[in-house]
Structure 1
């Protein structure tokens, strides 16, 4: 939800469509600089969460950040950028900060993963008491983006020194585009058997629920409305009724807009809730 007009506006927007959790940016996601957060911003945000009983606020980090970059200038800038976002989350009382692991560009995959681990270790050393957990997001695997194989995230989680301060956010569109089938029940079970073995459900802290405009294994990240894309409604039925996901907050990143006076957010939410047995 948009933070235009104040962080509390994102909570109010979520409440209007009867959502009980919310994802937001804690700064402009396409800029490095950030406007200072005031005490009033924090108070209004926390009051809105309490008033509307919106829980598990989740912050999504800037798309500019690339902890895997082989270019020192961008790598350093990315570390500072993510550090700033961790501090802003702490101020706002947001427990989890999700970010895309990064792209290794002309470097090797292994070198990219090492850069990510080194960057996260440095962040933890510089912010030893920050309570914010960094969530590595599963990716579709466009270009040289890291995170489209569960093994990538496993390597990072195992490589980081303070492993308890890092977890995972799973995106349904991304894993499908990356080549993990989840529509058929048999495929769904097999995919999450792999996830459990390589990452573990104890490391799953958030789920982005999105259908995919592109095919299985396309490695193209294009989100669609629930049940209207290539994944189809069956996969979301499995997720909605799998006890392993019962206490994991789930967030829509489906296209915005409305149809016949009903917002797409309301429509997607109603579809998901209708699938709960």
Structure 2
């Protein structure tokens, strides 16, 4: 399938080559604002220069193509999968493909700090099923090694699920065990835990659960957190309220520590506050609302980290338009 220059979007459980559907801009606000230029693409004053907004892009046709896709949509950061989402068994990363990826990043000025690969949805490092746990642990090692080969220094994954057959405490312990094992088998790459919506028996919906995992990771210099706005809202953190973004970050700092915050996933929510549903919506079209995302892009504590869209996208309001909108909301 050919790659859309207006942006791709990440799909749950499906391969990242699929494309989405939809229609119309968010409240019509800011869509005439041009995407800020990347290095060498213009000299006009850049709004939101400390904000590295981008999107989850496809690796279809070669992992190096993710870089150009990000450039085409005006991204200053990006995420991608490192292999197929449909199989535990994946061919090794081709060395020539890795070299082309590194060269493309250098050519277009993408530093490793602003690239956050996303883990396979097959992984469940908290699984009570021993075979799944062992396969997940092995895949985590493989993913970290792929990051190293690509010249990247961080990797994002969903923590896991108890499947309702072990306690939350036991599940958190298994996740930390898998991370410690992967860190022993690899070097340097930071494992970034994503907060979850609290759907079903998944863990990581509460900041305290993320803190528990971190406390059990031996090398805490190699662990971090990515906050997903949709997941946080669905888990009960009211980003839609006045000052809600600030309140969430204050609580995160108190419970986990802002020094662990490595990235943000920018997603509006189809579901209401506290619904525990992981249902992403386009920016300004969901229950969180545009005002919260204005607060996000003007929050100094979110400077110089990747802010990555994983929204469905709709005609006329795909990744390029949503990135442009978010930059237009930046006040300086």
Match of 1:92 in 2: 150
| Structure 1 unmatched ranges of 5 or more | none
Question: Which structure carries more helix by proportion?
Answer: 1
Alignment of structure 1 residues 70-109 onto 2, 5 Å: 70-105=128-163, 106-109=165-168
SS of equivalent to 2:161: coil
Greater shift, 88-97 or 181-190, is seen at 181-190
Residue 136 (structure 2) pairs with residue 68 (structure 1): no
Q: Which consecutive segments of 4 or more residues in structure 1 shift more than 6 A?
A: none
Residue 322 (structure 2) pairs with residue 268 (structure 1): yes
Count of aligned pairs: 272
User: Using the alignment, how far apart are the partners of 2:313 and 2:254 within structure 1?
Assistant: 35
Q: CA RMSD in A?
A: 1.2
> What's the TM-score, normalizing by structure 1?
0.95
Q: Which structure would you say has the larger RCO, counting Cα contacts within 8 Å and 6 or more residues apart?
A: 2
SS of equivalent to 1:244: helix
Q: Is the 8 A contact 1:182 1:235 kept in 2?
A: yes
Q: Is the 8 A contact 1:183 1:234 kept in 2?
A: yes
> What's the TM-score, normalizing by structure 2?
0.80
Q: Is the 8 A contact 2:282 2:313 kept in 1?
A: no
Match of 1:211 in 2: 268
Shift of 1:18: 1.3
SS of equivalent to 2:82: coil
Alignment of structure 1 residues 1-277 onto 2, 5 Å: 1-55=57-111, 56-105=114-163, 106-127=165-186, 130-259=187-316, 264-277=318-331
User: Using the alignment, how far apart are the partners of 1:247 and 1:101 within structure 2?
Assistant: 24
